[in-house]
């Protein structure tokens, strides 16, 4: 039977790891795990902790660490995805986690229709998606910012790419190399960016790139852009 994965946010003491809160509830009430069952626990590092449940109390469980293994899905890249608020945020967050994004920054742009970020809900999706794909570290979900604030962060990265459709845009691979370790990617909402926004972004240091001539849904564009970037950085 495949071992269930959980995240612990408690310090490891005496070779034991503790599950509390929603992770405890999921383990005991949903998965119906009992004393003696084997589980894998992550603590937002590169390690998988293979454990045996030792005790189950009313609000927490304790597990003994049997073995520690480095999780090879732990990303050796540092990718920040800037995404304009859109109606598909649930799917965008899920796919970003699966594709190894380190940090997701939602922002408002001129063509943004969605105005409210359900951060609690999205953080739950981050947690569940991380467990589903076997990722040992959680993607950071930042608060919403304005487009002008987002583009000013270009200097944080080895490369900063913004996706826009004009004939002069270059392919993703032409911008990247295996030497790039810290990458920023910016994708617009369903309405995309307008030309004035692109001009501001370029002035701030962003390089424009294309995903082709077809009109893509936001979640599709996220997966396509990330796959191309990982390939360009020689990470897949």
> In angstroms, what CA-CA distances link 116 with 143, 171, 228?
11, 33, 30
Query: Residue 122: what pLDDT?
Result: 96
Has residue 120 got a pLDDT over 70? Answer: yes
Query: Residue 185: what pLDDT?
Result: 96
132-168: pLDDT as tens digits: 999 999 999 999 999 999 999 999 999 999 998 765 5
Give the DSSP H or E segment for 6: strand 5-7
Average pLDDT over the chain reads: 91
Judging by DSSP bridges, how do beta strands 103-108 and 145-146 pair with one another?
parallel
Has residue 68 got a pLDDT over 80? Answer: yes
Query: Residue 170: what pLDDT?
Result: 74
Percent above pLDDT 90 for the chain: 74
Residue 13's pLDDT band (cuts 50, 70, 90): very high
The tokens describing 77, both together, are 């890249």
Query: Residue 204: what pLDDT?
Result: 96
Distance CA 29, CA 48 (A): 23
CB 149 within 8 A of CB 200: no
For 78-232, CATH number? 3.40.1280.10
Has residue 236 got a pLDDT over 70? Answer: no
**Mean predicted confidence (pLDDT) in 93-114:** 93
Residue 172's pLDDT band (cuts 50, 70, 90): confident
174-201: pLDDT as tens digits: 788 888 889 999 999 888 898 899 999 9
> Is the pTM here over 0.85, yes or no?
yes
**Mean predicted confidence (pLDDT) in 12-22:** 96
Has residue 58 got a pLDDT over 90? Answer: yes
Query: Residue 75: what pLDDT?
Result: 66
Query: Residue 178: what pLDDT?
Result: 81
Measure CA 179 to chain center.
22
Q: Where in the chain is the domain with CATH 3.40.1280.10?
A: 78-232
Q: Where in the chain is the domain with CATH 2.40.240.20?
A: 5-70
- The residues that bridge with 208 in the sheet, in sequence order, are 162
**Mean predicted confidence (pLDDT) in 207-230:** 89
> In angstroms, what CA-CA distances link 17 with 41, 54, 189, 211?
8, 10, 41, 44
Has residue 169 got a pLDDT over 70? Answer: no
Domain with residues 5-70, CATH architecture? Beta Barrel (2.40)
The tokens describing 48, both together, are 């998988």
């Amino acid at each position: 039977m495949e071992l269930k994965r959980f995240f612990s946010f408690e310090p490891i003491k005496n070779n034991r790891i503790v599950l509390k809160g929603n992770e405890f509830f999921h383990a005991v009430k949903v998965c119906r795990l009992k004393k003696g069952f084997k589980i894998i626990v992550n603590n937002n590092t590169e390690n998988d902790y293979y454990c045996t449940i030792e005790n189950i109390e009313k609000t927490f469980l304790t597990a003994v660490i049997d073995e520690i293994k480095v999780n090879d899905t732990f990303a050796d890249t540092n990718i920040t995805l800037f995404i304009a608020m859109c109606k598909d945020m649930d799917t965008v967050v899920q796919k970003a986690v699966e594709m190894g994004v380190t940090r997701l920054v939602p922002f408002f742009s001129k063509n943004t229709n969605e105005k409210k970020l359900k951060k609690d809900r999205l953080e739950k999706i981050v947690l569940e998606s991380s467990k589903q794909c076997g990722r040992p570290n959680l993607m950071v979900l930042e608060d919403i910012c304005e487009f002008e604030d987002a583009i000013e962060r270009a200097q944080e990265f080895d490369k900063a790419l913004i996706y826009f459709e004009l004939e002069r845009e270059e392919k993703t691979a032409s911008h990247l190399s295996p030497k790039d370790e810290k990458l920023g990617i910016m994708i617009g909402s369903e309405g995309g960016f307008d030309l004035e926004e692109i001009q501001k972004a370029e002035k701030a240091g962003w390089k424009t790139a294309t995903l082709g001539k077809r009109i893509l849904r936001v979640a599709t564009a996220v997966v396509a852009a990330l796959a191309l970037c990982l390939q360009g950085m020689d990470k897949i």
